[in-house]
Every structure is written in C-alpha cells, then in structure tokens.
Chain A
Amino acid sequence: MSKYGPIRTVVIVGGGTAGWMTAAALSWAFRGRMAIRLIESLEIGTVGVGEATIPHIHSFNDRLGIDEREFMARTQATFKLGIEFRNWGRIGDAYLHPFGAYGSPIGGIGFHHYWLKQRLAGDPTPLSDYSLPIVAAYLNRFKPPAADRRSLLSTFSYAYQFDAGLYAAFLRHYAEQRGVVRTEGKITDVRVSPEGGTIQSVTLGGGQVIEGDLFVDCSGFRGLLIEQALHAGYEDWRHWLPCDSAVAVPCETVGPWIPYTRATADEYGWRWRIPLQHRVGNGYVFCSRYIDASAATEVLMRSLEGPHLAEPRVLRFVTGKRRKQWLGNCVAIGLSSGFLEPLESTSIHLIQLAITNLIELFPDGRLDPADALEFNRVMDIEYERVRDFLILHYNATERTDTAFWDYCRTMPLPDALTYRMELFRERGTLASYREGCFLDPSWIAVFVGQRVVPRRYDPFADAVPNDRLAGHLQTLRRTVLETARSMPDHRQFISRYCPAPSMHQGMRKSSGA
C-alpha cells in the first residue's frame, strides 16, 4: 500500500540466540512476503549466557505457536519459579525473587503493608511465607498455574531454564522450515551508502556479496554493523554496574532439581547456578578491577557441586547500551544493542522486546525515521528500567568485606533509583511507571530481601482490626503451605511432561553452545 514498496530482503547477521529468535519471529510474522537471510559463522562462537528466562517468554513462544512440551524436551529445559539470591544484603542472607505476588491487596492496599504492620508489632513471619511460588520452590515442587482467578494456584507465573544453544537450534529449525535461508560465512566487509547511515551489503570471506533492505545486527558485543560500520556509539554504565567479566562452566547435576535459578553474591561479583535437565550451568560474574580471571575461575571451580563437563570459558563485556539501537536500516538486537549482566535473567527478554517492537514498527522501503525514533525511545526506557533494578541488588547491601562491595554500597545512583528507594524505605510505596518488565512484587522482593524495609506502612492498613488481620494472615500461610505441598515434585513433573531424550540415559552428554 505504500508508494515506496515493502522491505524485500532482511539480512540477519549472527546466529546466536538473538539471531535465531529474530529469524524465527520474522519468519512467523512475514513468511512469504520477504526474503529473510541469516548469516552465521561457525568460527565465531556464541555467548549463550542467557540460559534463564523470565515469564514474558511465554508470549514469544505462544505467538510463534511453539509447543511447550516439545520445546522443553529439546532444550533440556526445567521450570523456574524465581531466583534465589544469597549473600546479597549480608553474608548469610537468602531470599527468593518469585514470579508471583505476595498475598493479595486488602481494601485496595498492598499486602506488604499488612505484613509490615504485623512485623512492626513483633510478628517475625517472613514475607516469603505468603508467596506460593517461593514456598513451592523451596520444596522443589512445580505445577503450572491454574486459570481460575479465585484459586491460589493462579497467583504465580513461571519461566524456563534451558540451554540457549539448543534453543537457538530449535528456533533455527523453526525458521528454516518457514523459508529463512541460512548462509554460513564470515563477514569481511560491510558496505555503507556513500551518504552514510545505511548499510547496502555485506561481503563474505569467499567474496559473496549479500544485499538487503534491512539489516539486523545480532553479531554480539562487537556490533559489527551498528557500531563498526555505523558508529552508533555506546553508553558505558560500568560506574553503576562495575562487573565486566564472567567465567562460565557446566557441571553435573548432584541432588534434586530445584525449580529456580540461584545468584550467590561473592567477594567481587556473583555466581549463577542454573539447573537444566542434563547439567547445571555455572558462572562467576566478576569485576576485573578487583580479581583476575584465573582467580575468579578458581573461585568458580571450587564452588561447583558436581564434576565439570567442559573447560571454563571467560567472557569480557562492557555494561551499557548502544546510543541508538536502530540506526538507518540497521537494528541491533541482543548483545550488539547493549549488555546487562544476567542477574535477573533479562538477556533473552531484552531480545524478545526488541523483536516485538521491530515487528510492530516494521518499516517499509522508505525507512521512515519515525520507526527508529519510537523503537529507540521504548528500548531506552526498558534498558534503563532493567539497569536500575540490577543496580538495586548491588547497592542495597550491608556488605563491607571487600573494596568491591564498599564501592557498590556507596556509589552514586541514577536519580530514578534513588527516588524509588526513598519512597519504599519511607512508606512502602512503589513508584509507579508505565514501562519496565519488573512489576511491584519484584521490587518488593528485592527491597525486603535486601533489608530495605519500610519505616512505616500505609496508614489506611489500620482500618483492618488487628485480630482479624492476624487470623487472615495465619490462614493464608497455612493455605500457601498446604497448596505447595499438594504440588508434584519438580523432577517428577518434568519426567512425565517434557523429558529430554537423554534424560534417562545418564547426564554426561553436554551440548555446548
């Protein structure tokens, strides 16, 4: 319908998680209407750190019509009810950030105010006792939430932990079935239009020239197109999130399959533990100013609960965001658009968000600057919201054991975060914003879990008589516990629902990304 004609060829550069998620989604959306090509090089490894997800991934998979059981079996996936944070507020502390609410509002007032009121009156019950996903997670139970809104079983959501390399492979199959053409090769040259600002073609090692109307840069940290060719610029956020390296290694599973990811704060960063069906993914995200890679690797290897299944790999990164994630006819998705450490499992989510926005704002041949303008506006907000949420984890600490934590505890914060913290600390109010993937319960979980406990509760919470409140809370605690106990064991549920083919044939087979 446009005078300018449609986009005829989309070229995706890079075949990691971002590349294949993009290819799959575009093939779903625009199958048969444009050529979609993906160029990847086996010489260049993929990062595949984002093995843990947040519940938003359901909408991505559902839209593409992906069958959950098949997808989980083929990616060695497990269920995830939240993330456990250890040693963050203080060494020895632990809390779980659940995918679900704590209790439900009473008389329009958030449940946490009532919990707080009881706590100030001397009731030591932790907030977590009122969260079904937390109680279930610690019992290693899992069951998909119920649709019936009245049921306590509807008060949570869930995500997955999976092998990102296998997810990419799964989506590659999906995309190729829908006409995406994969080309293997290493890009040696990028041709930019003489007036600058748009990419005309990329040249492969063998001399093949691939032209396109729209290029999606999924080339990873280096930003082959968006940065190296178009010089979009980069906003460095390391003064707020000083970790700049990670070392990763898989190990064998020992013990039960826990339905949650674990993030343990360490002396110079934090360690992840992501349980999959066939192995456990481990890593140490650290700050190289304070500890070198070999020492960090040693810390990580010592912490493994089972024999390691591959050699540890070290990654370097610069936390921050591309100044313009969409520039001209080039859209950066994945690590080429920016990097936020996977502390809250947002890597895949940010990819998904970029894809959703790209589809909604998909340009025609005219490349109206309005498309990029809105894309960048929305993505900037989302990146900043996630960034602030991550910074909170580092800053809300009483740790004084290393210079790293001294820095994090005392560093200047973004204004919006200072504001959120003050508002919560003073009166338990969550500052309201429209955008941002983490909703009130997530902020409450981290605040309370890291000892940012409000000084006062909402005065209207006093309208509920004390004895009635105490009775209500007691009943809720009991119901949560009973409901959690009625849920099946996580591993048993998986073995019935979505076992990976290798599940019963030992767990030594690793599939590196």
Chain B
Amino acid sequence: MPDNGNVRSVVIVGDGIDAWMAAAALTVSCGGRFAVRVIAPPDDSIAAHGTAESTLPPLRAFNALLGLDEDQLIRACAGTFKLGTQFVGWREGGRYIQPCGEFGATLGGVAFHQYLTRLRATGTAVRPEDYCLAAVAARAGSFTRPSQDPSSVQSTMTYALHLDGARYRELLIEVARRNGASITHGAVAEVLLTETGSITALILEGSGERIEADLFVDASGTQARLIGEALGVAFEDWSDVLPCSRQVSARCDEKQLGAPLTRVDAAAFGWMSRVPLQGSAACSYVYDPMLLDDESAAGALREWMGESTATPFTFGAAKSGRRVTPWQGNCVAIGAAAGFIEPLESTALHLTQSTIVRLLSLFPARVPDVEPREYNRLVGNELERARDLAIAHYATAQRTGGEFWRRRASATIPGPLAHKISQYASRGKLVSYDHEPLPETAWLALYLGQGIWPKRCEALAEGPDIESVRQQLTRVRAAIEQAADSMAPHAAYIQQNGLGATSHA
C-alpha cells in the first residue's frame, strides 16, 4: 500500500461501553489501515457497575457490523427482547407503550392515526395500542422474531434488546482486540496541545509514557477528558429544561421473566426505570438533584422495587447537554463525551452508535478540515432532536403536585418542539426535522399515550364513509390480534430458541 498520507493511528480515551463500541467499530471497518489503541483510565469502566442497557432497534445493525451474532449476544449478555417502553403514570392512572413498530398501516396515502382520530370523533372509544402489533404482543407478554415479508402484518414490528452492560462491554472488548486494538491501562496525566489547539500527545500518569496519534477519540463519557478538560470546548448545559442529572441504580432478582418491555414510571422527582434481563432486572431512579438528596432517592427506589434487592445501590451523574463542537481539530468526542440526554427514550447507546457511525462516514483522510463541521452539524442536530423528545415527555405530562412537576409544567419549550406539538395538535401532522434520532412513531406513541388527540383529522381521511373506515380498522385490529396470538410467551421464546443465558463466573 502506498502511503497516501492517511491517518495511521487512532487513540481512544475511555474504558466504558462508549470507548469499546468505538474501538470495535473502528478496527472492524478499517481493515488494518490504521492502529487503534485504547487508553483505559483505571476507574473509568462505568459499565461494570451492573447497569443494564435498554437499546433501540438500530443497535442490531451495529452488532451485525461488528460480527456479533445476535443469539450468542443474547446468551452472553443475559439478554431479553424489547418491543417497546411502557410509560406509567405520566398522567394520572395512565400507562402506554411506546412500541418498536408501527401503528396500523398507511391507508390510501393517509397516515393510520388520522383514521383513528376520525373514528374517535364519532364517539367510539379508541385504544390506539390495539392497532399496533408490537404493543399488543408486548401487552400479552409475547415475543417472536418478526418475519421479513413486507406483505405480512409482522413486518410492522421490529424489536430491540435488553443487555447486561458489563457483559456487552466485554464482548466489545473481545471484538476490538481480535481486530487489532491494543489497550493501555492508565490515566491521562497531561494532554499536550499545539498552538492551534490540536492534540500532539497524551502523557500517562505513573509511567509518564508519551502517546501520540493522528486522531484522538474522546470516549471518556460525560467527563470529556479531552474535548472538555483539555481542549476547553464549552458544554451547552440543558439541565434547565432536563434537570434529572443524577441516577441511583440497583439490581433485583427476577425469577419469572415478564413482558418484553422497558418500564419507565413517572416519580415525584423524576422517573424510575426497570430493564428486565434473564434472572435479574436493573432498576434506576433518575432524579433532579436540586430537589432530592441521594439517600432519599435510594429509599424511594428501594420502595418501588419491592423486597428483593440483589446488588448495592450505586450512584451516577450525567447532565443533559452537549459539547458545542464535539469534533475540534484532531479530537472527536463520541457518545456521552459529545452530548447526553437523560435516557427516557433509551437513547444512550443509540447516540453513541450514531456518533460512531458518523465518525466512520466522515473519517478523515489526513488533517481534518471539512469533516468537523459536518460532524458537528449532524451530531448537534441529532442531540437537539433527542432533547426535544425528552422534553416532550414532560411538556405533555399531566401530573400535579410537587415542586418538580410544577417546574416541569412551566418550563420553556424550544421553538422547533413547540411547532411539532402544535402541528400534531391541529390535525395530526407529524413533523420531522433533519437528523431525527427516533422515528415518527415514537412521537405518535407519546402523544396518543398521553391522551393528546388532534383537534381534527386530515381532510383526506374524512373521505371514505365512516362504516368502511370502521370495518377497515376492525380488520387491522383482528389481523394484529391474530399475529400476536401466534407468538410465544417471552420467556418460552428464549428457552425454545436456545437463548438462555450462559452462566457467568
């Protein structure tokens, strides 16, 4: 290979899932064209503390890119399936599923929810989830991998995975190392910069080793060791609108695996989540530290979890916000180092994946020039849209009582989000902007789940006579029920397909 001046060496700083997702993806993609070295600070393996990852469907494609067989992954990570997230208590007595899949199907060029809106206006009680296969199956606690056949009702559903974070990280390390990544344990003592703000080298603590590279990837999580601490790139803090920046987590035993769902309950000072794995479940309380102290938070979580707590409570902190320029000079921040949104929408690994994929597609040939601008534009847009979706949960919440919810109710809503909500409210139009991290369905499920219906349906949906609409919708519902009935109970599906967790020493 002639030396065409390409980037020959990449150093990744970090030791969490972010870092190893990046290391695995870079080594698999580069075909040995450059060296990948991970500098792992000794106390940075955040993922090792018993977290469980509630992921989104696109992570499956990422795993495939890395050559991780899904069945093996599930066995190794005590994985379970996820057909959506169940939101509980975001309005009094309310619960709804935000599904990995569609509501109904487009009829005559009109979005399905337009007909639901119309039917409801006639006085008929409409339960939107009845028209969504992923939700109906999840409610029944069933799961079967959907067929690929686009004519089948099953193709309206997809799925994601719940994974043990620590084990997933181990698999990523394996992939990265097998593909040539090297690892050096040690904290970064010093970051040497050029006058123009590029990184020339890292100096390790203790050994004093000097580590040079053409490109530095900051995968150190919210610490932002390089992009923030060393380069001083400003952090745009969004905790005024998303104040739940602290989290307490614990594991509990789970003898009987339940529905293929992540659960997210509104709580007095934030929200609690429960991610089911094989044999255990990971529970967290994500709360506003200005209003709630750690001890009270842990107490509230313990109460919510009930009797069996298998692991000690651990605390973590992550503010919502983003680096103003996540790529600066020869330093690219990925994952939480680039930006973080409180993970109401399971976006943590999703945003990490997305930043890595964008880095791959913009990987610089030599000295980065135009690449940072495009990366920063794409990542910035995506984070803002993820932020808007998280804010939308609060903005549409109908809860009274308590300082936290009073503040949420009066928080300012960013302009683009206000436009989205008002467009939906007027006649059910789902607005999408550039680089939306989640599909329109996520928004629709949120609105419908919160009981927000458009004032009217789209004019086109008023065309067909109401009886034919009623019949059409009944047929859709029946087809979905039938498809859901043919699925296996979640736990049985895992057992029958040999996906039981391999015991871990």
* Chain A positions within 8 Å of B373 at CB level: 419, 423
Most buried by A among B29, B374, B457: B374
- Residues 108 to 133 of chain B near chain A (Cβ within 8 Å): 109, 118, 121
Stretch of B39-47, B76-84, B425-433, B440-448 on the interface side: B425-433
A362–B429 Cα gap in the complex (Å)?
11
- Residues 25 to 71 of chain B near chain A (Cβ within 8 Å): 29-31, 33
Say yes or no: A33-B462 contact (C-beta < 8 A), given A374-B423, A374-B429, A460-B360.
yes
- Residues 430 to 473 of chain B near chain A (Cβ within 8 Å): 431-436, 455-460, 462-463
Q: Check B456 against A459 for contact (C-beta < 8 Å).
A: no
Q: Check B459 against A362 for contact (C-beta < 8 Å).
A: yes
Say yes or no: A370-B423 contact (C-beta < 8 A), given A429-B361, A434-B433.
yes
Say yes or no: A459-B365 contact (C-beta < 8 A), given A370-B426, A427-B370.
yes
Among B33, B432, B462, the residue within 8 A (CB) of A459 is B33
Q: Check A359 against B457 for contact (C-beta < 8 Å).
A: no
Say yes or no: A456-B363 contact (C-beta < 8 A), given A434-B433, A463-B33.
no
* Chain A positions within 8 Å of B426 at CB level: 368, 370-371
Q: Which residue of B lies closest to A433 (CB)?
A: B434
A236 contacts chain B at the CB level, 8 A cutoff: no
A257–B457 Cα gap in the complex (Å)?
48
Q: Which residue of A lies closest to B424 (CB)?
A: A370
* Chain A positions within 8 Å of B171 at CB level: none
A426–B457 Cα gap in the complex (Å)?
47
Q: Check A434 against B459 for contact (C-beta < 8 Å).
A: no
* Chain A positions within 8 Å of B342 at CB level: none
Q: Check B463 against A456 for contact (C-beta < 8 Å).
A: no
A2–B369 Cα gap in the complex (Å)?
54
Chain B interface size, as a band, is: 35 or more
- Residues 224 to 282 of chain A near chain B (Cβ within 8 Å): none
Q: Which residue of B lies closest to A59 (CB)?
A: B109
> In whole Å, how far is A32's beta carbon from the nearest beta carbon of chain B?
9
> In whole Å, how far is B384's beta carbon from the nearest beta carbon of chain A?
14
* Chain A positions within 8 Å of B429 at CB level: 360-361, 374
Q: Which residue of B lies closest to A63 (CB)?
A: B109
Q: Check B374 against A429 for contact (C-beta < 8 Å).
A: yes
* Chain B positions within 8 Å of A482 at CB level: none
Q: Check A2 against B1 for contact (C-beta < 8 Å).
A: no
Q: Which residue of B lies closest to A423 (CB)?
A: B370
> In whole Å, how far is B160's beta carbon from the nearest beta carbon of chain A?
21
A315 contacts chain B at the CB level, 8 A cutoff: no
A44 contacts chain B at the CB level, 8 A cutoff: no
Q: Check A359 against B369 for contact (C-beta < 8 Å).
A: no
B362 contacts chain A at the CB level, 8 A cutoff: yes
> In whole Å, how far is B348's beta carbon from the nearest beta carbon of chain A?
23
Q: Check B459 against A30 for contact (C-beta < 8 Å).
A: yes
Interface string of B353-388 (1 = CB under 8 A from A): 000000011111110011101100010000000000
- Residues 372 to 429 of chain B near chain A (Cβ within 8 Å): 373-374, 378, 419, 422-423, 426-427, 429
Among A429, A434, A463, the residue within 8 A (CB) of B435 is A434
Q: Check A463 against B370 for contact (C-beta < 8 Å).
A: no
Among A7, A429, A462, the residue within 8 A (CB) of B33 is A462
A434–B416 Cα gap in the complex (Å)?
15
Interface string of A15-37 (1 = CB under 8 A from B): 00000000000000110010000
B interface SS class = loop
A364 contacts chain B at the CB level, 8 A cutoff: yes
A382 contacts chain B at the CB level, 8 A cutoff: no
A322–B434 Cα gap in the complex (Å)?
24
* Chain B positions within 8 Å of A459 at CB level: 6-7, 30, 33, 363-365
- Residues 98 to 134 of chain A near chain B (Cβ within 8 Å): none
- Residues 286 to 322 of chain B near chain A (Cβ within 8 Å): none
Q: Check B370 against A30 for contact (C-beta < 8 Å).
A: no
A431–B7 Cα gap in the complex (Å)?
22
A434–B431 Cα gap in the complex (Å)?
12
* Chain A positions within 8 Å of B463 at CB level: 29-30, 33
Q: Check A432 against B378 for contact (C-beta < 8 Å).
A: yes
A463–B422 Cα gap in the complex (Å)?
48
A75–B114 Cα gap in the complex (Å)?
36
A374–B369 Cα gap in the complex (Å)?
36
A458 contacts chain B at the CB level, 8 A cutoff: yes
Q: Check B7 against A434 for contact (C-beta < 8 Å).
A: no
Interface string of A423-449 (1 = CB under 8 A from B): 100110101111100000000000000
Q: Check A456 against B366 for contact (C-beta < 8 Å).
A: yes
A435–B434 Cα gap in the complex (Å)?
8
Q: Check A423 against B374 for contact (C-beta < 8 Å).
A: yes
* Chain B positions within 8 Å of A432 at CB level: 378, 434-435
Say yes or no: A2-B456 contact (C-beta < 8 A), given A460-B29, A462-B6.
yes
> In whole Å, how far is A352's beta carbon from the nearest beta carbon of chain B?
14
- Residues 145 to 189 of chain A near chain B (Cβ within 8 Å): none
Q: Check B431 against A374 for contact (C-beta < 8 Å).
A: yes
A432–B121 Cα gap in the complex (Å)?
40
Q: Check B457 against A1 for contact (C-beta < 8 Å).
A: yes
Among B118, B361, B458, the residue within 8 A (CB) of A362 is B458
Most buried by A among B31, B362, B427: B427
Interface string of B328-367 (1 = CB under 8 A from A): 0000000000000000000000000000000011111110
Among A7, A431, A457, the residue within 8 A (CB) of B374 is A431
A370–B429 Cα gap in the complex (Å)?
10
* Chain A positions within 8 Å of B1 at CB level: 462
A422 contacts chain B at the CB level, 8 A cutoff: yes
Interface string of A454-493 (1 = CB under 8 A from B): 0011111011000000000000000000000000000000
Q: Check A1 against B370 for contact (C-beta < 8 Å).
A: no
A373–B429 Cα gap in the complex (Å)?
12
Q: Check A422 against B462 for contact (C-beta < 8 Å).
A: no
Say yes or no: A462-B31 contact (C-beta < 8 A), given A360-B429, A370-B426, A432-B435.
yes
A7–B459 Cα gap in the complex (Å)?
10
* Chain A positions within 8 Å of B362 at CB level: 427, 429
* Chain B positions within 8 Å of A29 at CB level: 459-460, 463
* Chain A positions within 8 Å of B370 at CB level: 422-423, 426-427, 429
A370–B374 Cα gap in the complex (Å)?
32
> In whole Å, how far is B417's beta carbon from the nearest beta carbon of chain A?
14
* Chain B positions within 8 Å of A431 at CB level: 374
> In whole Å, how far is A281's beta carbon from the nearest beta carbon of chain B?
32
* Chain B positions within 8 Å of A364 at CB level: 456, 459
* Chain A positions within 8 Å of B457 at CB level: 1
Q: Check B460 against A360 for contact (C-beta < 8 Å).
A: yes
A429–B372 Cα gap in the complex (Å)?
12
A370–B363 Cα gap in the complex (Å)?
41
* Chain A positions within 8 Å of B109 at CB level: 63
> In whole Å, how far is A388's beta carbon from the nearest beta carbon of chain B?
15
A419–B373 Cα gap in the complex (Å)?
9
Q: Which residue of B lies closest to A378 (CB)?
A: B431
Interface string of A370-384 (1 = CB under 8 A from B): 110110010000000
> In whole Å, how far is A452's beta carbon from the nearest beta carbon of chain B?
13
> In whole Å, how far is B179's beta carbon from the nearest beta carbon of chain A?
12
Q: Check A1 against B432 for contact (C-beta < 8 Å).
A: no
A456–B364 Cα gap in the complex (Å)?
10
A434–B440 Cα gap in the complex (Å)?
14
- Extra contacts, 15 of them, besides A370-B423, A432-B434 (Cβ < 8 A), are A30-B460, A33-B462, A368-B426, A370-B427, A371-B427, A419-B373, A427-B365, A429-B371, A434-B433, A435-B434, A459-B30, A460-B33, A460-B363, A462-B6, A463-B29
Those 10 A-B pairs whose CB atoms lie nearest each other, nearest first: A463-B31, A362-B459, A370-B426, A1-B121, A426-B370, A456-B365, A434-B434, A2-B456, A459-B365, A423-B370
22 A-B pairs with CB atoms under 8 Å apart are A7-B459, A30-B463, A33-B462, A33-B463, A360-B458, A361-B429, A362-B459, A364-B456, A371-B426, A371-B427, A374-B431, A377-B419, A427-B362, A427-B365, A429-B371, A429-B374, A431-B374, A432-B434, A457-B365, A458-B363, A460-B30, A460-B31
B→A interface (CB under 8 Å):
1, 6-7, 29-31, 33, 109, 118, 121, 360-366, 369-371, 373-374, 378, 419, 422-423, 426-427, 429, 431-436, 455-460, 462-463
